[in-house]
Structure 1
């Protein structure tokens, strides 16, 4: 197309090529803020980490994390510190504690997107900086994890900012050094010293590249990197050092956990690599294929930071994750960070046929899913189509869909915006990123506005907890438990301020109340005659879990 015609088409188009910065920021903000509010803690990591944050808000002491009265050392407490503060602020403003904690997730995900955009700009140029956040939004496997209250968002923030810092520090040492200090601090205080070590390995490898040594020839530039590494490492290890002084036995447990994550099992690595690749093939879509294309297109630059930096991070993460455990959805979250940066280079380089196929697949997929979500809501609200309505009713017995005109109106506005976007967007190599990012925002917004009451009904322990609370003996302060999962203990702590003690522990031996749980294939505990069953219950949509409340005679 002649230049004049191309510029004229872009003036008429709703979105440019690549999209304008303001459009990308607005889309990211809509994505991050959707689905955070108006719901209870959900079964799984959401309830678990809200419970840890709530312990900081309710109990004394901010050094050692607790979950429902018991020490919890699965990770450092940066996320939970901030979540405790924002949760308290939400209570003061009349919202729920859970709503406030999820704002912290949005904050760290925003830092990830900022870091990814900065790294893409330094490595591939200004257009890539606007593409990287769109690829991050489009990640299929991450959408629910990014909106739950869970510290996996700190891993992404540390990796995104770390790549930006290492790409920037040779050219602008002061700014790059400050960003690296922040990235290392978040890694150690939010995720663990294992992630700090991975970033330090990458930082140590960068000066070995010939291109980096040419750019960073001055003494100031050569000193910026080691000084930032030292300062960031001190901040990253500050919580661990404070814990070592206060409770050395707990610090030893944390150290052993971090050390185990840094020394992956080679047998597990060789056996699990295939399962991780299979998981990433859909979880990291579309960042994985466009990142692979970028590697192939620029394979001659593998010794340049353009490829070496994100590729090294990707390799280190893959070895660590595959050597630690089997493939799991949430565990794959950190892999998105280097893939998004690489993908920002690969997507504009797609051939026309591949770019059109990616765009067409995204448009058709998200349009069809949008129609399904609307049809599902109509079925739940009106009972038509009857077969679909019976399916939803069977999945969550007893649920009645409330009609929120505000939610329906907003869903209509977003659906209309999707149609206008498809009509007005220019057909360019970057249209695939726009359609996938906007499509993911559409689906998440529709689910969060139309289906949220139904999902909340199925994944919340509110009704179970309140029903059980009515059968608890008045003034019961000592409750033993057997079989309870961490997220269940967190939910009962959230709704009832209940701190059940493990039945096998010495402090729970003579508790007058016992709360037992078993899942699929399990059986009620075998108890002697001194225990009497007072209540049995479960969530309506889960036919496998069972809760039993006993009192001692």
Structure 2
């Protein structure tokens, strides 16, 4: 027989978190970053380049490439989704904003899928609290709803979710499909038809978004767990579920082979302690504050997952977590891969809530209060310094780090930030009052603090962040240099590049309107019609081997205002 559950929960402790409050938490987290900014450098702008090329008909839909460069991930669906968004968007909507809309929906889908997955896991008999002798224990559905609320709050609170989940890139689509597949496996004993639909969508979506091998492993491992599950389903039903998951794994493998999207870019395990320590540090901050609660869950519920009659509400998220962490150890993009582990980490963290001691809950509250209040205070102080010049030191630091940045004041951003800060103060006051019964109470301040700081950054600091992370100021700076040259207006259309990556080339095409061409893939005849040449400064010594230098005048070397590692040198073609 299984050991008694460690959860002792009265009905009074499963008071429902108001739906409006939960929706506001999610909206305050999802919406900031959607408005008022350009695509940011890195994964987002590189992906945006491929989406824009597809939308403009400059790339093959089944073999995406731009300027002769294939995407880093052999993905199709993320680029298709972005291209479709650009094509159907009205003319007054910028392509960058149009792309972010469906990806914001994917983040919302991640939160919703995590909630429903945890809800069905918490409904399982092994996850239910201890029944009281005279009644009064938490009712199953109320208990499951409360645990699911706590899981969503724990997911929002994870530090690693903040930036990557707000970028229109393939990794966000993978996160949405992982959470969708997680929901499908979790709900199998309760709604097989809906679960099979969710699993099919999740696994096939993962295949098309650049993770076919991950999808196959997920299907096989989840099927094996269904086969061994004796508590939630009968033996025959478990076999049927396992067989269906195996077939889905085969279907994913066949589709990946047909579309040629397999990729095995694995590295051997690290043999250097410094690399392992860096990876452990990354995991520690990326999954904070979910990982300490997840460890506490594994300890307090240890009898439910170490015995032969294990509990699916623990083993299933453990399997998803183990698969993702293992993958992160053998890939170069560890940070992106770890993003896929956050829904399962949040699930394990949520099951710690019924077992937390009051002293531990108080420690979480005080640490969260001090940490996020301090972060919010720093954000406000630096914003005031940018606007007024006082305090002098933060203002000087901003000017030194971001030369050329001109602060601007926006009433809408200011009012939203002020309202969010007021809500945070109210939330802290509410939490420190005598509201000690609801299980989700320990996750309110972490989730609220994470949403507050992200919202403040994307309102008060949005002009600064956009200046630092977008390419638009850099393109405008280079256009200003071009404007001083002879015949700029008449000959500005074509621009040759040497050593620039996809994101940088896309920036000059999108922000500057240039017909940009890579010098490595352009014929001599086509090169002769371009009046401008832009060269990565590190490759200047090699330039003589690819162009006739006597045909070009060096204009100047231009440094990107917020990044010393993106110096480029501009050349202008000499008149014949």
Q: Using the alignment, how far apart are the partners of 2:185 and 2:402 within structure 1?
A: 49
CA offsets 1:442-486 (integer angstroms, 9 cap, x no match): 111111111101111122211322343463785577654332233
| Counterpart in the other structure of 1:215 | 233
- Tell me by how many angstroms 1:296 deviates: 0.9
CA offsets 1:339-359 (integer angstroms, 9 cap, x no match): 111111123322211111111
Secondary structure of the structure 2 residue equivalent to 1:329: helix
Query: Which is worse superposed, 359-368 or 271-280?
Result: 271-280
Aligned equivalent of 1:430, options 429, 440, 454? 440
Query: Which is worse superposed, 225-234 or 430-439?
Result: 225-234
The residue correspondences of 1:19-98 to structure 2 (distance < 5 A) are 19-59=17-57, 61-68=60-67, 70-72=69-71, 74-92=73-91, 94-98=92-96
Query: Which is worse superposed, 228-237 or 105-114?
Result: 228-237
Q: Using the alignment, how far apart are the partners of 2:226 and 2:273 within structure 1?
A: 30
Kept after mapping to 2: 8 A contact 1:484/1:517: yes
Kept after mapping to 1: 8 A contact 2:268/2:330: yes
Q: Using the alignment, how far apart are the partners of 1:194 and 1:269 within structure 2?
A: 27
1:492 aligns with 2:508: yes
Secondary structure of the structure 2 residue equivalent to 1:427: coil
Q: Which has the larger radius of gyration?
A: 2
Secondary structure of the structure 2 residue equivalent to 1:496: coil
1:403 aligns with 2:422: no
The verdict on how the C-alpha distance between 1:167 and 1:272 changes in structure 2, with shifts beyond 3 A counting, is: farther
Normalised by the size of structure 1, how large is the TM-score?
A: 0.86
1:449 aligns with 2:459: yes
- Tell me by how many angstroms 1:549 deviates: 2.2
Kept after mapping to 1: 8 A contact 2:368/2:445: yes
Q: Using the alignment, how far apart are the partners of 2:219 and 2:273 within structure 1?
A: 25
| Counterpart in the other structure of 1:337 | 343
Kept after mapping to 1: 8 A contact 2:387/2:407: yes
The verdict on how the C-alpha distance between 1:502 and 1:287 changes in structure 2, with shifts beyond 3 A counting, is: same
The verdict on how the C-alpha distance between 1:300 and 1:273 changes in structure 2, with shifts beyond 3 A counting, is: farther
Kept after mapping to 2: 8 A contact 1:123/1:306: yes
- Tell me by how many angstroms 1:332 deviates: 2.3
- Tell me by how many angstroms 1:89 deviates: 4.2
Normalised by the size of structure 2, how large is the TM-score?
A: 0.83
CA offsets 1:378-424 (integer angstroms, 9 cap, x no match): 11111111222111111212222111111111111111111111112
Secondary structure of the structure 2 residue equivalent to 1:360: helix
Query: Which is worse superposed, 22-31 or 523-532?
Result: 523-532
The verdict on how the C-alpha distance between 1:206 and 1:508 changes in structure 2, with shifts beyond 3 A counting, is: farther
Secondary structure of the structure 2 residue equivalent to 1:449: coil
Aligned equivalent of 1:293, options 288, 293, 296? 296
| Counterpart in the other structure of 1:278 | 281
The verdict on how the C-alpha distance between 1:331 and 1:178 changes in structure 2, with shifts beyond 3 A counting, is: closer
Q: Using the alignment, how far apart are the partners of 1:459 and 1:50 within structure 2?
A: 14
- Tell me by how many angstroms 1:217 deviates: 3.9
Q: Using the alignment, how far apart are the partners of 2:370 and 2:524 within structure 1?
A: 57
Kept after mapping to 1: 8 A contact 2:146/2:440: no
Q: Using the alignment, how far apart are the partners of 2:503 and 2:426 within structure 1?
A: 42
Q: Using the alignment, how far apart are the partners of 1:491 and 1:40 within structure 2?
A: 10
1:318 aligns with 2:343: no
- Tell me by how many angstroms 1:503 deviates: 4.0
Kept after mapping to 2: 8 A contact 1:209/1:305: no
Aligned equivalent of 2:313, options 306, 311, 328? 306
Aligned equivalent of 1:146, options 160, 165, 181? 165
Would you tell me which structure has more helix in proportion to its own residues? 1
Q: Using the alignment, how far apart are the partners of 1:108 and 1:50 within structure 2?
A: 16
- Tell me by how many angstroms 1:50 deviates: 1.6
Q: Identify unmatched segments of 5+ residues in structure 2.
A: 1-9, 123-143, 483-487
Kept after mapping to 1: 8 A contact 2:75/2:170: no
| Counterpart in the other structure of 1:247 | none
| Counterpart in the other structure of 1:550 | 571
Kept after mapping to 1: 8 A contact 2:107/2:172: yes
Secondary structure of the structure 1 residue equivalent to 2:563: coil
Q: Using the alignment, how far apart are the partners of 1:391 and 1:530 within structure 2?
A: 42
Kept after mapping to 2: 8 A contact 1:135/1:287: yes
Q: Using the alignment, how far apart are the partners of 1:329 and 1:508 within structure 2?
A: 42
Kept after mapping to 1: 8 A contact 2:270/2:276: no
Aligned equivalent of 2:210, options 191, 195, 211? 191
| Counterpart in the other structure of 1:460 | 470
Kept after mapping to 1: 8 A contact 2:222/2:316: no
Kept after mapping to 2: 8 A contact 1:196/1:233: no
Aligned equivalent of 1:259, options 264, 271, 293? 264
Secondary structure of the structure 1 residue equivalent to 2:570: strand
The verdict on how the C-alpha distance between 1:295 and 1:210 changes in structure 2, with shifts beyond 3 A counting, is: same
Task: State the Cα RMSD in Å.
Answer: 2.9
Aligned equivalent of 1:204, options 208, 215, 223? 223
- Tell me by how many angstroms 1:75 deviates: 2.9
Kept after mapping to 2: 8 A contact 1:51/1:68: no
The residue correspondences of 1:506-521 to structure 2 (distance < 5 A) are 507=523, 511-512=527-528, 513-518=532-537
Q: Using the alignment, how far apart are the partners of 2:254 and 2:573 within structure 1?
A: 46
Q: Identify unmatched segments of 5+ residues in structure 1.
A: 11-15, 244-250
- Tell me by how many angstroms 1:504 deviates: 4.3
Kept after mapping to 1: 8 A contact 2:50/2:66: yes
- Tell me by how many angstroms 1:292 deviates: 0.9
